[in-house]
Amino acid sequence: MVSSTTADEPIDGERLDELVGMAVNELGAAYYAPLIVIGDRIGLYEALADDGPLLPAELAERTDTAEPYVAEWLAAGAAGGYVTYDPETGRYSLTPEQVALLADEDSPAFLVGAFQGLMGYQKSLSEIEADFRTGEGVGWHEHDEDVCHGTERFFRPSYATNLVAEWIPALDGVDAKLGEGARVADVGCGHAASTIIVAEAYPESEFTAIDYHDDSIDVARERAEEACVADRISFEAATAKEYDGGDYDLVMTFDAYHDMGDPVGVASHVRATLADDGTWMLVEPFANDRVEENLNPVGRAFYCASTMACVPNSLAQGGDPVLGDQAGEARLREVITEGGFTSVRRATETPFNLVLEARP
């Protein structure tokens, strides 16, 4: 037990030991994050999922990698509970649950993309540190490409699981409109994972995928071609306050509204581009309205990501106001209605998402 005193009050040894233990656990987690990205990139998880249980030498042979690295990587994963070790055989494997988390990109539990994005954020660490003092920002387009690719891989499984099956049916009349043929804009589309999922489900509808990041629009075009829906998706490189078009039956914004520098102005522009009976669907990170209600593992992850990516992007665009990705439903409703919408309701939710329906 560690015990000492500060200048003002004695240190509780048990509480300090608990805090040190927590920090050591965090340190191990921080060190393991880049190992997840490495394992994903060079196929270690995939090979374990397909061929395990394996000895380190066998995994190295299958992946054309060096055994000393692989052996240490496997032990690190086993120590953290991400890889399963059999001490009797010396072999490593993945349980079905570990496969869902680390090796199955279609699983709603797949989280490797989040770690990939984390590694990308950290390449902007010095700039973000400086911006703590200046109040300036870092735009999404200024981050390492792993940020955009990791974000797509993190969100896409949830969209694939929930968007067509749960979220759109929770909106008033939207499913029927899309089935008959509707005009849809996906604002802040990134690599257009969300656009493509909806386009595949509703072949009678036409879509416009919009993002201010030229490189993301280029990737989105490639993704649409690969999915054979490019004939029904047009692409526009524009901000959420300046995109063209109008009379949209549905505007969609996925995990992007809280990043924007002028969310009231964005809401006003979306309102102006909607049909009179149109709908704006906003998918936002799940958050309660008060900080103390978000002090949990999900809230913690989102607050951290918000500090590294969402708040910097908002500040880079003027930041008036800066929402952050734990804004909560009440704050989002306030800003959206200030932009001209008369009705905002929570259509549905998941542990990671708030799905809001805004109507003119």
The confidence score (pLDDT) of residue 184 equals 98
Render pLDDT for 64-95 as a digit per residue (tens, 0 to 9): 999 999 999 999 999 999 999 999 999 999 99
Q: In terms of Cα–Cα distance, which of 322, 359, 338 is closest to 136?
A: 322
Domain ranges (residues) in the chain: 13-104, 116-359
Give me the architecture of the 13-104 domain, per CATH. Answer: Orthogonal Bundle (1.10)
Question: What's the fold here for domain 116-359?
Answer: Rossmann fold (3.40.50)
Q: Check if the beta carbon of residue 352 is closer than 8 Å to that of residue 299.
A: no
Is the pLDDT assigned to residue 3 strictly greater than 70? no
Render pLDDT for 203-243 as a digit per residue (tens, 0 to 9): 999 999 999 999 999 999 999 999 999 999 999 999 999 99
Q: What's the chain's average pLDDT?
A: 95
Q: What is the token pair recorded at 335? A: 């800003």
User: Alpha-carbon torsion 266, 218, 278, 325, what sign?
Assistant: negative
Calpha distance 350→79 (Å, rounded): 30
The confidence score (pLDDT) of residue 1 equals 46
pTM for the complete prediction?
0.90
Residue 131: phi and psi, rounded to 5, are: -70, -20
Identical fold, 13-104 and 116-359: no
Render pLDDT for 117-160 as a digit per residue (tens, 0 to 9): 999 999 999 999 999 999 999 999 999 999 999 999 999 999 99
Half-sphere exposure of 238 (CA within 13 A, CB side): 17
* Amino acid letter, residue 238: A
The three-state secondary structure class of 66 is: coil
The confidence score (pLDDT) of residue 73 equals 98
Q: Describe the strand order of the beta sheet including 206-211 as a list of residue ranges.
A: 233-237, 206-211, 183-187, 248-254, 274-285, 353-359, 343-349
Is the pLDDT assigned to residue 2 strictly greater than 60? no
